[in-house]
Amino acid sequence: ETLTPEQAQYIDVPVEGPFKPDYYRY
């Protein structure tokens, strides 16, 4: 999966960085 610039900015993390699906749901 890949985060969009908007999603990355929303959770304040790099788009290419590791992330948990449960994390960016908030």
The ranges assigned to domains in the chain are 1-26
Average of pLDDT values for 15-24? 58
Mean pLDDT of 6-24: 60
4 pLDDT exceeds 70? yes
Q: What is the DSSP string of 1-16?
A: ----HHHHHHHTS-SS
CA distance 9 to 15: 8
> Contact 15/8 with Cβ under 8 angstroms?
yes
**Could you tell me the pLDDT band of residue 13, with boundaries at 50, 70 and 90?**
low
Q: Output the CA torsion sign for 25, 8, 13, 16.
A: positive
CA dist., res. 2 & res. 21, Å (int): 10
| Mean pLDDT (the chain, rounded) | 62
